[in-house]
Amino acid sequence: MKKERSWAEPYKIKMVEPLFMTTREEREQFLKDAGYNTFLLRSKQVYIDLLTDSGTSAMSDRQWAALMMGDESYAGSENFYHMEAAIQKYYGYKHVIPTHQGRGAEHILSQILIKKGDVVPGNMYFTTTRLHQELAGGTFADIIIDEAHDPDSELPFKGNCDLNKLERLITKHGAENIPYVSIATTVNMAGGQPLSLANLREVRALCDKHGIMIVHDMTRVAENAYMIQRLEEGYGHKSTAEIVREICDLTDAATMSSKKDALVNIGGFLAVNDEKVFEKARNMVVVYEGLHTYGGLAGRDMEALAVGIAESVDDDHIRARVGQVQYLGKKLLEAGIPIVKTIGTHGVFLDAKKFLPHISQDQFPAQSLAAAIYADSGVRTMERGIVSAGRNKDTGEENRPDLELVRLTVSRRVYTQAHMDVVAESVEYVYSERHLIKGLKMVYEPEYLRFFQARFEPIT
Ligand code: F0G
């Protein structure tokens, strides 16, 4: 039998952007100036940027051409209708509200659906999503399977929901106090883990029984669909596009950060099937984002998104995108680096607890590790551990997640295999010198989403 060929980029490069090399001495100064927070570095101080996959994709020539078709009318821009048609065609939701990015959609939907005292179950928290739920008076409740909190579990669908956890919440709080169940494809904070269609169908059945809505955080839905195609029984012959549609059809509404899967540098939307929710959202968007036919976006942004959505569900694209992430993950695994298994779809996550067992969680091991990798090579990564997890909204105590991770996030269509090799070399070197890494203390803590702007100093 013919062996499956390696993944390779289904495109060639026609424009390049220079990268900047710095010395270790310079980087140590930059780190100090940035309070040991990689979010506070300037991009020119970075060599390979694995901070995030958000808004960092390389657009295709088709998307750049689409930018030139921008219809910058205040109302009724042609580009809005193209974007709306693409969302309806590929995702199947009825009504579309454009927003400047994902959290704009989260804000509007949370304010409409959540009342004070409500509980919002979800397959693990995401930082902005949970904050908007809390600001609307709700409390997030984690219903992801236990294995998702275990970096060593090698289950294929670690984004799945535990139906017993959901059922217990419904019994305890009553369906009337659960405005919706929040389902993310894939689960970012668990390490980019997908959920299976079989599991989503079970969640749907339980929600139907109790009349509860499902809201889909579809930020990385194509990546999730690709993993279903690869790993879930019965889906090997379906296209990514078909699977994406099947996922969306099992949910009632969606918030989207188009800056990830959909291959644009800015944008998002809220999509809903319910007429009443749509009417409320259309009313709110004009207060916080912009008119309901642009929602904070330029016409050209919406046109680029219409093209990006179609490209994002292309099987060759998604195979290469996830293939590159898996390439980096396998390389690190082979070198014996402790990473989250199963390898996710948008990045590789280092297990900082195992990497730096001599640093207690109070001294921010993942934050320290991200700083150490930057100091070594100029590769910028980010913390996804106790700093990101923030504080309990009622008690003010620090949340202590089991997962203390450093995310090596791979931008779409941006870096090459050789860049991934350099990243792996740097991580391996830092691992060999790990005993030299010291913990940090937090010296500035902002009130909301502290990981973005917090500052640290080394513990001497
Ligand atoms: N939901 C998920 C799962 C996300 O990963 C993000 C953003 C959002 C919602 C919010 O969207 O940034 O457009 O407002 N994640 C970025 C990241 C910031 O780096 O993972 P946004």
DSSP-derived pairing of the beta strands 347-351 and 382-384: unpaired
Which atom of ligand 1 lies at the shortest distance from residue 103's CA?
A: 14
Please tell me the number of Cα atoms within 13 Å of 24 on its side-chain side: 4
pLDDT more than 90, % of the chain: 98
Q: What is the C-alpha to C-alpha distance for residues 196 and 202, in angstroms, rounded to an integer?
A: 10
Q: From the CB of 407, is ligand 1 less than 6 Å away?
A: no
Q: What is the C-alpha to C-alpha distance for residues 93 and 240, in angstroms, rounded to an integer?
A: 17
Q: Pocket of ligand 1, candidates 106, 257, 289, 407: which has the most ligand atoms within 8 Å of its Cβ, to mutate? A: 257
Q: From the CB of 38, is ligand 1 less than 6 Å away?
A: no
* C-alpha to C-alpha distances, 290 to 104, 285, 301, nearest whole angstrom: 11, 6, 14
Residues of the chain with CATH 3.40.640.10: 61-312
Q: From the CB of 98, is ligand 1 less than 6 Å away?
A: no
Q: What is the mean pLDDT of residues 300-317?
A: 98
Q: If we measure between CA atoms, which residue out of 383, 51, 414 comes closest to residue 189?
A: 383
CATH class of 61-312: alpha beta
Residue whose tokens read 């955080």: 217
Query: What pLDDT score was predicted for residue 228?
Result: 98
Query: What pLDDT score was predicted for residue 75?
Result: 97
**Is 24-53+315-458 assigned to CATH 3.90.1010.10?**
no
Q: Which helix (H) or strand (E) holds 80?
A: helix 78-90
Distance of CA 196 to the CA centre of its chain: 17
460 pLDDT higher than 90:
no
In this predicted model, what pLDDT tens digit does every residue of 61-110 receive, in sequence order?
999 999 999 999 999 999 999 999 999 999 999 999 999 999 999 999 99
Q: Pocket of ligand 1, candidates 51, 106, 124, 126: which has the most ligand atoms within 8 Å of its Cβ, to mutate? A: 126
Residue whose tokens read 């970075």: 46
439 pLDDT higher than 90:
yes
Q: If we measure between CA atoms, which residue out of 384, 380, 374 comes closest to residue 404?
A: 384
Write out the two tokens for 180: 């919706």
Q: What is the C-alpha to C-alpha distance for residues 130 and 368, in angstroms, rounded to an integer?
A: 25
Distance of CA 88 to the CA centre of its chain: 22
Residues of the chain with CATH 3.90.1150.10: 24-53+315-458
Q: Report DSSP state, residue 398.
A: B
428 pLDDT higher than 90:
yes
Query: Rg of the chain over CA atoms, in angstroms?
Result: 21
Task: Name which residue sits closest to atom 8 of ligand 1, judged by CA.
Answer: 102
Q: What is the mean pLDDT of residues 162-184?
A: 98
Write out the two tokens for 21: 């090399």
What does 307-358 look like in DSSP terms, one character per residue? HHHHHHT-HHHHHHHHHHHHHHHHHHHHTT--B-SS--SSEEEEEHHHH-TT
b/e per residue, 81-98, with b = 16+ CB within 10 A? ebbbebbeebbbbebbbb
190 pLDDT higher than 90:
yes
Q: Which helix (H) or strand (E) holds 383?
A: strand 382-384
Query: What pLDDT score was predicted for residue 42?
Result: 98
33 pLDDT higher than 90:
yes
Q: What is the C-alpha to C-alpha distance for residues 89 and 353, in angstroms, rounded to an integer?
A: 44
What are the backbone angles phi and psi of residue 42, rounded to the nearest 5°? Answer: -90, 145
b/e per residue, 389-416, with b = 16+ CB within 10 A? bbeeeeeeeeeebebbbbbbbbbbbebe
Is the Cβ–Cβ distance between 119 and 302 less than 8 Å?
no
Query: What pLDDT score was predicted for residue 353?
Result: 98
What does 115-182 look like in DSSP terms, one character per residue? -TT-EEEESS--HHHHHHHHHTT-EEEE-B-GGGG-TT---S-TT-B-HHHHHHHHHHH-GGG--EEE
Residue whose tokens read 């910028």: 380
Q: What is the mean pLDDT of residues 296-308?
A: 98
Taking each helix axis from N to C end, the angle separating 240-249 and 78-90, rounded to the nearest 10 degrees, works out to 90
Q: If we measure between CA atoms, which residue out of 232, 148, 147 comes closest to residue 187?
A: 148
Write out the two tokens for 347: 């990045």
In this predicted model, what pLDDT tens digit does every residue of 116-162 receive, in sequence order?
999 999 999 999 999 999 999 999 999 999 999 999 999 999 999 99
Catalytic positions, written as ranges: 74, 126-127, 217, 260, 384, 451
Write out the two tokens for 243: 């699977």
